Structure 1
Amino acid sequence: MTLDELIAAAPLSRATATPLFRQLYARLKDAILRGRLAPGARLPATRELARQLQVSRQTVIAAYEQLTAEGYLRGGVGRGTFVDAALPVARQAPPAPAALPGLLRPLPERGAAMAAGMARVRYHSGPVRAFRPSMPGLDLFPFEVWRKLEMRALRRPGPHLGYSAPSGDLRLRELLCAYLRAARGVDCTQEQVVITSGSQQALYLLAHLLLAPGDAVWLESPGYQGACAPMAVAGARICTVPVDAEGMDVAWAAAHHPDARMVFATPSHQLPLGATMSLARRLALLRWATAHRAWIIEDDYDSEYRYTGPPLASLQSLDRAGCVIYTGTLSKVLFPGLRLGYVVAPPALAEPLAHAKAVVDRHSAILPQMVLADFIAEGHFARHIRRTREAYAERRQVLLDALGTRLDERLRCGPTDAGLDLCVHFRPGRDGRFPDEARVAEAALDAGIELRPLAYYANPQAGPACAVDPGLVLGFSAVGAADIRRGVERLAAVIERTT
């Protein structure tokens, strides 16, 4: 292809914000890299090319000079301008594999697992509405207080705004320790705390740090979908464990998967069924993990919100062997966009975990950590938890009352004493069959309400032992009482239409 043909195929445009010389530079560079202008090819004189393009000569000179400076062109006064003969001859890239169009080569096994790992996890989008699951009430957060604390932090610049320790801001870690000891009975020092970019990063770090390919991991099913991906990407063998009214069935897991090296558990409030792990099972899990030298990741994602008494003591507070790794998040207590979580690691694991954190992102953003430390130290954190606990308790009761009035014959409620969500199970119809939960959820979205079918939380690898009655997960914390009542009316209409 000649240069004239190249220019004709992609003419310069005066209608864009890109300068004409940059457009010409880009076209010539692309032609050289693609082999359409071969090494040693002569380019027109600047006056001639300017005439052809109907641009100023200076435009062509500027493009030629840029290409010459970058090594694409060679030439001089009286000698003409040429594509550098030393450039390798461009070869057409082989066609990409059909399964991965556009990629140079297929992803390796680990890369493919990482790219597909969170495919089943849904992300919130659009305006907040009933009954968005696992979403705190943003209308209750004191954003003006947070803004003032953030501006104050920015008015005192200094070394603290530079690079930080991978484990996170020291003052925040100290304050979190004091809070966790008082509120959750967690036995820790600030040296054991590592601040992470949310609990998802904590799971990724722990899986890759502690698991070898082929190691078995217990995962609750139904359970938190985000827990499976980090384990699978680390090469772990996923072992799904059923859940009942007492939480994870430890005896079943020990009998069927005795060689596990890690357990992921939500003992304080199981997602999505809402069960709290009984003391007998907590002690059994700790005995098993101690005997088998296995790690337990305790995900304590929303334990602040218990409505029938004070928050329960953590599993970590019962651990005497150093096998429990306690993880928490600020997404449910404050707001998800903050992206701050934490790990309380056994003392010997804290330093390796901090070094692993540095590999992933050096350290989590420092400014939000500083603001959160002030937020806690000045009492805003405790006040916010008290306020939201009261508000969520009211919203929970509104939901229970509305369901009892409109849908008691169609739905039965699971445990309701904790968390931000309510799990409801369908009652069988007169023919003994259950409604199609996926169809109900889809129709509900069309009706302007957002919920999740219980099957969403089931691990694809789970067997019959993990099966539960069909149902829905309804969040009650994100919107106020009026929206909840309207949402129940719409849900009742949807169920009537679809069953």
Structure 2
Amino acid sequence: MAIATSLQEIRQLTLDRHHTQNLSQQLYMGLRNMMLGGQLPSGSQLPSSRNLAEQLNLGRNTVIAAYEQLQAEGYIISKRGSGSFVASPLPDQLHSPLVDAKPEIGVPKSGATPKIHKNINDSFCVGVPDLAAFPHKTWQRIQQQLQKHSADFMAYGDEAGFWPLRRAIAQYLQQSRAVKCHGGQVLITSGAQQALDLCIRLLLGPDDVIAMESPGYRGVMRALQHSGKKHLPCRVDQDGLDLQTLIDAETTPNLVYTTPANQYPMGVVLSLERKMALLHWAQTHQSWIIEDDYDSEYHYQYRPLASMQGLDPHQRVIYLGSFSKTLYPGLRLGYLVLPDSLIERFTAARIACYGQPPLMTQAQVASFIEEGHFYRHLRRMRIAYKDKLTALQQAMTMLEPWGKTLQRNAGMHIVFVCYQNIDDHQLVQHLEAQGIFSSPLSEYCHGNESLKGLVLGFANTAAEKMLRKISVIRTVLETLYPTD
């Protein structure tokens, strides 16, 4: 596609100067959606930042920031002397639910009647923290301070990530999660999904298998679908991942994905006995373990559990984390704590495939941690989320005729297990029409389970709204599945 053609397409983007989302983020979202929708197919050359800024009446720095974010996340590739091109293939994280939701900002104009905007970040959307409680003023102050030295962040940085951020993450994990690491083992990524994709691509050969919890994290399946790798579902019981599946497997998995501190989505904890058995199994078979610590900071009855990585004397555990739950999802910043034997290989692969996450963003998060704001924010959120969880659990008693709520004292969501005659996909669709954005439990099942139900995120919903919103779910259930 010629530059003129891509310009003609991009000119159709609608950017709202009065929207709470800044113009750079709107442009980023709009270009990303056009790539997904095929208006900008893989291999297309993008206009220069100067040319696009003139055409859209934007500041050049606004366009540069959008391009840098797209490049950092692997959507575009910059070729020195030739320009920027749409990547082929597009990265796996493009297929997340937030992209599929097609937000209105940045969508090309058309003659079709515009859809009513749906706030998918509210009303029990899974994985979204309390965005209103985020310390926006502090965040903006740090950003303004860094912008005074913006030239320091315009060149290439450390290939593994901004060193002060890597050091701050290592110190935080040592103190809060008993992770045994130093800053040199930390690799910064553009979100947890990119980190997961790197693990799958680098540690699984053509015939290798990854074992994963079932029910379990849907992002693993998205990554596997695009890499063509095989998976082994492992059932989950009250003590977490059942190791018997690993022991009985015809092909020994080369990689095991687990969420031991707060199993996703069922909320159980991997028992110490099973942790030690899994570590022994990994050492015996020279397999790797991915420990996804996705929201371990949020335990409401006791201190966050120590990591499994800290119990491993043989460095077979890869620790995965992100700031999506602790700060906000749009930050798109994650990290891996890698064994010393893997750090160089992973760093080279991330640079070759994805580039560097924006240095300014990394520096902002590093300052936020170093100045103590991160710790204070987590303490406030633990208190707030505990109150929200209590209110939601009390409200959920209204749904008892149709199923049961799994009790939990950690995390940012709850699970409601329906009786088997309920179609949870149909239920979710009807709830969306009422402004309730939950997830069907059946989508988390990757083996022979037949669980039906709802996964309800509560972090971004006010405690005083819980009763009214659950009453909406009850009304929908009564309409679809009336009880005697």
Q: Report if TM-score (shorter chain) is over 0.5.
A: yes
Secondary structure (helix, strand or coil) at the match of 1:307 reads coil
Q: 1:480 aligns with which of 454, 462, 466?
A: 462
1:203–1:230 Cα contact (<8 Å) kept: yes
Secondary structure (helix, strand or coil) at the match of 1:489 reads helix
1:118–1:229 Cα contact (<8 Å) kept: no
Could you report, residue by residue, the CA deviation over 1:165-206 in whole angstroms, capped at 9, with x for unpaired residues?
Answer: 121111111111110001000000001000000011111112
Cα distance change of structure 1 residues 170 and 416 upon mapping to structure 2, 3 Å threshold: same
1:449 counterpart residue number: 436
State the alpha-carbon separation in 1 of the partners of residues 396 and 308 from structure 2: 33
State the alpha-carbon separation in 1 of the partners of residues 406 and 329 from structure 2: 26
State the alpha-carbon separation in 1 of the partners of residues 392 and 93 from structure 2: 34
Write the letter of the residue equivalent to 2:456. Answer: L
State the alpha-carbon separation in 2 of the partners of residues 167 and 298 from structure 1: 20
Deviation at 1:234, TM superposition (A): 3.5
Q: 1:130 aligns with which of 123, 127, 133?
A: 123
1:423 lines up with 2:415 in the alignment: yes
Report the more deviating stretch, 324-333 or 249-258.
249-258
TM-score (norm 1): 0.72
Deviation at 1:120, TM superposition (A): 8.1
State the alpha-carbon separation in 1 of the partners of residues 169 and 95 from structure 2: 33
Q: 2:261 aligns with which of 241, 246, 268?
A: 268
1:358 counterpart residue number: 351
1:412 lines up with 2:387 in the alignment: no
State the alpha-carbon separation in 2 of the partners of residues 257 and 334 from structure 1: 42
Could you report, residue by residue, the CA deviation over 1:74-115 in whole angstroms, capped at 9, with x for unpaired residues?
Answer: xxxxxxxxxxxxxxxxxxxxxxxxxxxxxxxxxxxxx89x78
2:477 counterpart residue number: 495
Secondary structure (helix, strand or coil) at the match of 1:408 reads helix
Runs in 1 of length 4+ with deviation above 6 angstroms? 114-118
- Highest Rg: 1 or 2? 1
For structure 1, the residue ranges without an aligned partner over 5 or more in a row are 1-15, 18-110
Report the more deviating stretch, 306-315 or 407-416.
407-416
Deviation at 1:212, TM superposition (A): 1.1
Write the letter of the residue equivalent to 1:409. Answer: P
Q: 2:145 aligns with which of 145, 152, 172?
A: 152
1:348 counterpart residue number: 341
Write the letter of the residue equivalent to 1:458. Answer: C
State the alpha-carbon separation in 1 of the partners of residues 350 and 309 from structure 2: 22
Deviation at 1:402, TM superposition (A): 0.9
1:135–1:477 Cα contact (<8 Å) kept: yes
Q: 1:244 aligns with which of 214, 229, 237?
A: 237
TM-score (norm 2): 0.75
Deviation at 1:133, TM superposition (A): 1.1
1:165 counterpart residue number: 158
2:166–2:186 Cα contact (<8 Å) kept: yes
1:183 counterpart residue number: 176
Could you report, residue by residue, the CA deviation over 1:33-82 in whole angstroms, capped at 9, with x for unpaired residues?
Answer: xxxxxxxxxxxxxxxxxxxxxxxxxxxxxxxxxxxxxxxxxxxxxxxxxx
Cα distance change of structure 1 residues 298 and 448 upon mapping to structure 2, 3 Å threshold: same
1:397 lines up with 2:390 in the alignment: yes
State the alpha-carbon separation in 1 of the partners of residues 281 and 470 from structure 2: 43
Deviation at 1:468, TM superposition (A): 4.5
CA-based RMSD: 2.2
2:293–2:321 Cα contact (<8 Å) kept: yes
Q: How does 1:296-307 map to 2 (within 5 A)?
A: 296-307=289-300
Deviation at 1:225, TM superposition (A): 1.1
Cα distance change of structure 1 residues 232 and 407 upon mapping to structure 2, 3 Å threshold: closer
State the alpha-carbon separation in 2 of the partners of residues 421 and 241 from structure 1: 22
Deviation at 1:409, TM superposition (A): 3.5
Write the letter of the residue equivalent to 1:306. Answer: H
Q: 2:425 aligns with which of 438, 441, 445?
A: 438
State the alpha-carbon separation in 2 of the partners of residues 294 and 346 from structure 1: 13
Cα distance change of structure 1 residues 119 and 385 upon mapping to structure 2, 3 Å threshold: closer
1:39 counterpart residue number: none
1:198–1:342 Cα contact (<8 Å) kept: yes
Secondary structure (helix, strand or coil) at the match of 1:348 reads coil
Deviation at 1:219, TM superposition (A): 1.6
2:301 counterpart residue number: 308
Cα distance change of structure 1 residues 117 and 183 upon mapping to structure 2, 3 Å threshold: closer
1:129–1:483 Cα contact (<8 Å) kept: no
Secondary structure (helix, strand or coil) at the match of 2:260 reads coil
State the alpha-carbon separation in 1 of the partners of residues 96 and 294 from structure 2: 20
State the alpha-carbon separation in 2 of the partners of residues 296 and 415 from structure 1: 28
State the alpha-carbon separation in 2 of the partners of residues 458 and 122 from structure 1: 20
Cα distance change of structure 1 residues 118 and 468 upon mapping to structure 2, 3 Å threshold: farther
State the alpha-carbon separation in 2 of the partners of residues 360 and 445 from structure 1: 36
Deviation at 1:154, TM superposition (A): 0.7
2:128–2:457 Cα contact (<8 Å) kept: yes
1:226 lines up with 2:219 in the alignment: yes
Deviation at 1:265, TM superposition (A): 0.8
Could you report, residue by residue, the CA deviation over 1:4-61 in whole angstroms, capped at 9, with x for unpaired residues?
Answer: xxxxxxxxxxxx99xxxxxxxxxxxxxxxxxxxxxxxxxxxxxxxxxxxxxxxxxxxx
Deviation at 1:436, TM superposition (A): 2.1
State the alpha-carbon separation in 2 of the partners of residues 141 and 395 from structure 1: 16
State the alpha-carbon separation in 1 of the partners of residues 384 and 164 from structure 2: 30
Secondary structure (helix, strand or coil) at the match of 2:132 reads helix
1:201 lines up with 2:188 in the alignment: no
Write the letter of the residue equivalent to 1:418. Answer: A
State the alpha-carbon separation in 2 of the partners of residues 342 and 247 from structure 1: 24
Deviation at 1:257, TM superposition (A): 4.6
Write the letter of the residue equivalent to 1:408. Answer: E
State the alpha-carbon separation in 2 of the partners of residues 485 and 117 from structure 1: 34
State the alpha-carbon separation in 1 of the partners of residues 91 and 214 from structure 2: 22
Identity %: 35
**Paired positions, count:** 379
Deviation at 1:160, TM superposition (A): 4.1
Secondary structure (helix, strand or coil) at the match of 1:139 reads coil
State the alpha-carbon separation in 2 of the partners of residues 401 and 235 from structure 1: 43
Write the letter of the residue equivalent to 2:474. Answer: A
Secondary structure (helix, strand or coil) at the match of 2:277 reads helix
1:384 lines up with 2:377 in the alignment: yes
Cα distance change of structure 1 residues 172 and 180 upon mapping to structure 2, 3 Å threshold: same
Deviation at 1:329, TM superposition (A): 0.6
Q: 1:217 aligns with which of 206, 210, 218?
A: 210
State the alpha-carbon separation in 2 of the partners of residues 449 and 142 from structure 1: 26
Secondary structure (helix, strand or coil) at the match of 1:325 reads strand
2:294–2:321 Cα contact (<8 Å) kept: yes
Could you report, residue by residue, the CA deviation over 1:326-370 in whole angstroms, capped at 9, with x for unpaired residues?
Answer: 000100100000000000000111111111111123311100111
